[in-house]
Structure 1
Amino acid sequence: MCGIHGIYRFDGQRVEPATISAMGRVTQHRGPDDEGWHIEPAQQRCAIGMRRLSIIDLAGGHQPISNADDTTWIVCNGEVYNFRELRAELQQRGVRFKTGSDTEVMLHLYDQLGDEFVHRLDGMFNFALWDARRRRLLIGRDHLGVKPLYVHHTRERLAFATEAKALLALPDVTPQLNREALADYLHLGYVAAPHSMFRGIAKLPPATMLSIEDGQVKQWRYWRLPSRQDHTLSASQWVERTRAALDAAVHRQMVSDVPIGAFLSGGVDSSAVVGFMAKHSEAPIRTYAIGFDGGEAEQLYNELPYARQVSQLFKTEHHEIVVKPDVVGLLPRLLWHMDEPVADSAFVTTYLVSEFARRDVTVILSGVGGDELFGGYRRYLGEHYAAKFGRLPSWARDLMVRASQGLPVDRHSQLLNKLRLARGFLESASLSPDERYRRYLQVLGQDHVAELLKGAAAPTDALAAAFASAGDGDALNRMFAVDAETQLPDDLLMLTDKMSMAVSLECRVPLLDKALVEMAASIPQQHKVPGTQLKHLMKQALSDMLPREILYRAKRGFGTPMGAWLKHELAPVLARLLGADVVRARGLFEPRVVSRLVADHQANRMDGTDVLISLMNLEIWSRIYLDRRSHEDVTAELKSFLAR
């Protein structure tokens, strides 16, 4: 695990070692153990570099790695889980290895197969490869986008890096807001690839490679999620296949030469990961859980009793932490690490539990992805309930929709959260399936985004593009395809990567193993989620491993009670960051609209948690990156707001 970076110059200028080194220093947190770079010696127009966190072949895995005659060089961030099988296959072909690392396997596989080598890889990665024979640079990103990769392309040169902040270390790159991405950010709560929040800096989409050869830049998609379902298997056969695939995926991702552990919330996904890890480990698995100290809102997010139950079941070496986080002290530093603002408060929780786990382990396994693969979100039931709702008389439907508009809502109260969900469904029940799903996913409606924005901003509409490429599968698998193009890589996986690597912790996501994902995408909807039974197939596959109280307990997201904090502890900070004078000076939004959003949230007329987080985080991010202030300086300023 590490961070990679590099430069290719089109203008004939040399790449200076000091420039490559400066890019690496910015991301030292990703790789505190080692650094290295290679500058092609002939014209010195291309350089690739890395910062290394040692996981496999601790002594011999220094990067960049070259082949026997130094004609191919590679740097890689991530892990290839099937590297031992690939290594044995290459050795049978006569390939000799200098190291025991998975990165060298990628190098020789490229020498044997060319660009097709990526189809043999099972892992999470981004890489840069210099082919001296063809004077060609090749960079790429893994199938699901677990590892991020940013690109800055001008007439003079192309630069790339695992984190955007490494590109900002270049002397000709000035951080500027990407207004084209702003509307999508407000709409979804994150910036979807290929855009980023920085003008001129793009994200390479998942399953994408980019090459430069003879001065020509080419970019292509090498893999897509299967869009057809297999209707030849029975429900019991799918149960058996699912259990076997889950078992194999977790086992594959346990390979490590350093201590390994698992996040454990007591939910279905993390409990399944821990259960299969325990099956394949002679020593107790180290598990890590987080809970919140406080009132009703905090208790809604406290899953420690369930995590303890699972820990006792599998006899893990369990560690837990109860926190009342210093959010004001955390947000500026974490948003600096994130590179881009997000509206998902899970980045705070992910950082805290990662920091806690890093005291003992270097590698952690997470349950991210299970809800997308096997249908765990309430939004996947929209079609089912919409069909029932559509059978009611029109006057009854109209009456229910009008009545719902006056309901108080608050996700941090059990009763008001149910009213929030009911209101959200009724307001979207008459829409088309695609637009209904958009309503469930959105942070702020597109009409409200237009009202909020000050000045023109061309919307990019990542969801529309994802729906257009989602294929012709059944409704549930189309929704998963949309998630896999948008929220999964650009929200959940991005925050998982950035927050774990902020503390030099490698986080693996076995439920997004390529073979498991391809299998899950081929399972028909009626087996995954029959009727209203979310995650039915996965629960059936785990029925003899996990108790019913774990399998069928109410779902709770891995976030924070941020909405409640914005009404109480963080209210002074919110008032200052989103005050009319600050909004007017920033010049992005209509101050009256921002004031109305804050007031509606405070009065429970709307659950504005995600909207206000997105606006607050954008302002903090702007102070750090656009105003070019240190995150320590911004933290001190926010603390002064509380003191007053």
Structure 2
Amino acid sequence: MCGIHGIYRFDGLSVEPVILSAMGDRTRHRGPDDEGSHVDGSCGIAMRRLSIIDLAGGHQPLSNADETLWLVCNGEIYNFRELRGELQARGYRFKTGSDCEVLLHLYDAEGDDFIHRLNGMFDFALWDARRRRLLIGRDRLGVKPLYVLQDRQRLAFATEAKALLALPGVSAELDREVVADYLHLGYVAAPGCIFNGIRKLPPATLLAIEDGQVREWRYWRLPERMTQGVSEREWSGRVRVQLEESVRMQMVSDVPIGAFLSGGVDSSAVVGLMARHSQQPIRTYAIGFAGGEAETLYNELPYARRVAELFSTQHREILVRPDVVALLPKLLWHMDEPLSDTAFITTFLVSEFARQDVKVILSGVGGDELFGGYRRYLGGHYARRYRRLPEWLRRSAGFAARHLPADRHSGMLNTLRLVKGFLASAEMTADERYRSYLQVLNREAIAALLIEPGKAGPDPLERAFAAAGNEDELNRMFAVDAETQLPDDLLLLTDKMSMAVSLECRVPLLDHQLVELAAAIPSSVKVHHGRLKHLMKASLADLLPDDILNRKKRGFGTPMGAWLKRELAPLLRRLLAAEVVNSRGLFHHSLVDQLMADHEASRIDGTDVLLALMNLEIWSRIYLDRRDPADVADELKGHVA
């Protein structure tokens, strides 16, 4: 696990090692244990290393026997032992015990097709000196991020965008064209990036440079074809076998390993399966929030404690009342890009807590997408029943819904918020209903909010829907999730927030073989008669008790909406004040002011959009105004005081 970066010069000039070193300095947190680089004329590759496997011998860059192939790789290859044995039988000699060395010899043996043999999370850069060819790539699901900058003189890449800002002639500038997409989804989807001139390499993508020509291609997509005629019992057995195998494979490590535990189905399943494959008690880590009713809704510690006792884990938990004002500048610097998902705060805090003991952690991220765990997956189920009601009754319900309060931070108001959202979308097509559940602001509101709306064109969800092509509604939504929210929100924040404290986070529920299996299962089996994650729960019936399998779902976030009405209200008003908004020249302040007023009065649940606007301003102070995050934090504390 590490951060990688590099440069290929089209003009034939040699790469300067000092520039590679400067890029690595920006991502020292990703690899505090080691650093290395290799320069061969117009190409230079480098890394910062967090030692996980082959602690003494896994220094990178790695090379083959005659030093004609060089590699830097960020991530883990979980099937490296099997591949290593196969390659040794074919005559290849290994210099190290590193899992990443198999990439070098597989590439030598099979060319670019080697990528299909890998099971893991990774981004890598491979320099083929014989062909003067650079190959970079990213794993199938996009667990590990990779940013690219290309101009006439060079193509540069890095695991984090901030490393590219160390390049001569590059400065942080806002890409105004992606602001609309950011406000729509609360994050910037690939290939977009908030920085002008920088883009994300999409998941499951390879990019090669040879003879000065750049070629980019997709090497894997989510399977579209479902398998019919298989019983639920058979599906359940297959899922369980693959779950066991995914967790077992991802437990490989030469350093202490642990697991995040919320007490939800996904993290509990991971912990339970880890316990079956460990001779020692599993180390588990949980987080809760101290405070009033809003904080209590996000406190899952009793459920985590229940699972920890069930599997006799070495359990630690922390109850926090975080200093969000001090945290936000630091975390947004690490994130590279602003976002409105408060899970990045929770993920950082629990990662920081776990890093006291371990270097590697397993997470339950991905189970909701694979097996239908989100409420939005029930939209079609309830919409079909709703449409059986008389038209006059539906019309009256829709009118009444517009006047319901919206707030997610109390039990009753959260229920009313969900009812309001469902009734507003019940008459929509499946695609538009999905969009309504995910969007932070709709496109009409964004066009009104922006001073310069920008060019019209397909947005990330439109592109993802066009590529999905699956007639099964639930699996179609999963295909869109896998192209957008999963890699560019959940996995991005998981990577950035865990690596901010030099912690490697693995996601066994997104093992690509498990993903391919889940994609082949009809939605009527995965979500049965309105029961979310029905099949996954059936596959875990002998592992987890009913009170965990059937507990009410709660997201892994924070009570941010309540905080914005209480202790963070002064900060919100200062960051989105007229003079601040007008100075940036992006938004009509009167509409920003209206959003704040509507959230305060619970006419809307404006948590996500207000956080998106607030985080964009904080991000701008750090990156556009070129200020130190600690300096910005001190300023924000003054606003609140």
Bin for the TM-score computed over the shorter chain? over 0.9
The question of whether the paired residues in 1 share the 8 Å contact of 2:147 and 2:161 is answered with yes
Following the alignment from structure 1 to structure 2, what is the Cα–Cα distance between the partners of residues 12 and 546? 60
Deviation at 1:472, TM superposition (A): 2.4
1:244 to 241, 255, 260: 241
Following the alignment from structure 2 to structure 1, what is the Cα–Cα distance between the partners of residues 126 and 539? 41
Q: For residues 235-634 of structure 1, what are the structure 2 equivalents within 5 Å?
A: 235-459=232-456, 460-634=458-632
- Which letter maps to 1:480? F
The SS at the match of 2:136 is strand
Following the alignment from structure 1 to structure 2, what is the Cα–Cα distance between the partners of residues 27 and 563? 32
- In the other structure, the counterpart of 1:24 is 24
The SS at the match of 2:71 is strand
- Which letter maps to 1:560? T
Following the alignment from structure 1 to structure 2, what is the Cα–Cα distance between the partners of residues 485 and 168? 26
CA displacement, residues 369-426 of structure 1 (integer Å, 9 cap, x when unaligned):
0000000000001111111111111111110000010111110011011110011011
- Which letter maps to 1:358? R
Deviation at 1:179, TM superposition (A): 1.1
Following the alignment from structure 1 to structure 2, what is the Cα–Cα distance between the partners of residues 323 and 239? 38
CA displacement, residues 475-501 of structure 1 (integer Å, 9 cap, x when unaligned):
110100000000000000000000000
Q: Tell which deviates more after alignment, 471-480 or 536-545.
A: 471-480
- Which letter maps to 2:20? I
Following the alignment from structure 2 to structure 1, what is the Cα–Cα distance between the partners of residues 449 and 361? 40
Q: Could you list the runs of 5+ residues in structure 1 that have no partner in the other structure? A: none
Query: Deviation above 3 Å: which 4+ runs of structure 1?
Result: none
2:127 is the counterpart of 1:130? yes
Following the alignment from structure 1 to structure 2, what is the Cα–Cα distance between the partners of residues 493 and 285? 23
CA displacement, residues 290-310 of structure 1 (integer Å, 9 cap, x when unaligned):
000000000000000000000
The question of whether the paired residues in 2 share the 8 Å contact of 1:229 and 1:473 is answered with no
Q: For residues 38-77 of structure 1, what are the structure 2 equivalents within 5 Å?
A: 38-40=38-40, 44-77=41-74
Following the alignment from structure 1 to structure 2, what is the Cα–Cα distance between the partners of residues 116 and 508? 25
Deviation at 1:473, TM superposition (A): 4.0
The SS at the match of 1:364 is strand
The question of whether the paired residues in 1 share the 8 Å contact of 2:180 and 2:453 is answered with no
The question of whether the paired residues in 2 share the 8 Å contact of 1:190 and 1:342 is answered with yes
- In the other structure, the counterpart of 1:116 is 113
Deviation at 1:566, TM superposition (A): 0.3
Following the alignment from structure 1 to structure 2, what is the Cα–Cα distance between the partners of residues 331 and 456? 27
The question of whether the paired residues in 1 share the 8 Å contact of 2:77 and 2:120 is answered with yes
- In the other structure, the counterpart of 1:13 is 13
Q: Tell which deviates more after alignment, 540-549 or 451-460.
A: 451-460
The question of whether the paired residues in 1 share the 8 Å contact of 2:351 and 2:497 is answered with yes
Q: For residues 83-232 of structure 1, what are the structure 2 equivalents within 5 Å?
A: 83-232=80-229
Q: TM-score, normalised by structure 2?
A: 0.99
Deviation at 1:455, TM superposition (A): 1.2
The SS at the match of 2:316 is strand
Deviation at 1:581, TM superposition (A): 1.1
The SS at the match of 1:469 is helix
The question of whether the paired residues in 1 share the 8 Å contact of 2:290 and 2:319 is answered with yes
The question of whether the paired residues in 2 share the 8 Å contact of 1:183 and 1:458 is answered with no
2:640 to 636, 639, 642: 642
CA displacement, residues 198-252 of structure 1 (integer Å, 9 cap, x when unaligned):
0100000000000000000000000000011101311000010111111110000
- Which letter maps to 1:104? E
The question of whether the paired residues in 2 share the 8 Å contact of 1:239 and 1:540 is answered with yes
Following the alignment from structure 2 to structure 1, what is the Cα–Cα distance between the partners of residues 107 and 13? 28
The SS at the match of 1:102 is coil
Q: Could you list the runs of 5+ residues in structure 2 that have no partner in the other structure? A: none
Following the alignment from structure 1 to structure 2, what is the Cα–Cα distance between the partners of residues 559 and 425? 22
Following the alignment from structure 2 to structure 1, what is the Cα–Cα distance between the partners of residues 397 and 230? 41
CA displacement, residues 24-59 of structure 1 (integer Å, 9 cap, x when unaligned):
01000000000000001xxx1000000000001000
Following the alignment from structure 1 to structure 2, what is the Cα–Cα distance between the partners of residues 473 and 34? 49
The SS at the match of 1:288 is strand
The SS at the match of 2:100 is helix
Following the alignment from structure 2 to structure 1, what is the Cα–Cα distance between the partners of residues 632 and 365? 31
Q: Tell which deviates more after alignment, 28-37 or 471-480.
A: 471-480
RMSD: 0.6
The SS at the match of 2:468 is coil
Following the alignment from structure 2 to structure 1, what is the Cα–Cα distance between the partners of residues 450 and 120? 40
The question of whether the paired residues in 2 share the 8 Å contact of 1:227 and 1:473 is answered with no
Following the alignment from structure 1 to structure 2, what is the Cα–Cα distance between the partners of residues 29 and 293? 29
The SS at the match of 1:217 is strand
The question of whether the paired residues in 2 share the 8 Å contact of 1:496 and 1:507 is answered with yes
Residues matched between the structures, number = 640
Following the alignment from structure 1 to structure 2, what is the Cα–Cα distance between the partners of residues 409 and 204? 37
The question of whether the paired residues in 2 share the 8 Å contact of 1:150 and 1:160 is answered with yes
CA displacement, residues 542-598 of structure 1 (integer Å, 9 cap, x when unaligned):
111111110101000000000000000000000000111110111100000000000
The SS at the match of 1:287 is strand
Following the alignment from structure 1 to structure 2, what is the Cα–Cα distance between the partners of residues 504 and 251? 23
- Which letter maps to 2:290? D
The SS at the match of 1:248 is helix
Following the alignment from structure 1 to structure 2, what is the Cα–Cα distance between the partners of residues 105 and 13? 31
Following the alignment from structure 1 to structure 2, what is the Cα–Cα distance between the partners of residues 292 and 473? 41
- In the other structure, the counterpart of 2:3 is 3
Q: Tell which deviates more after alignment, 225-234 or 497-506.
A: 225-234
Q: TM-score, normalised by structure 1?
A: 0.99
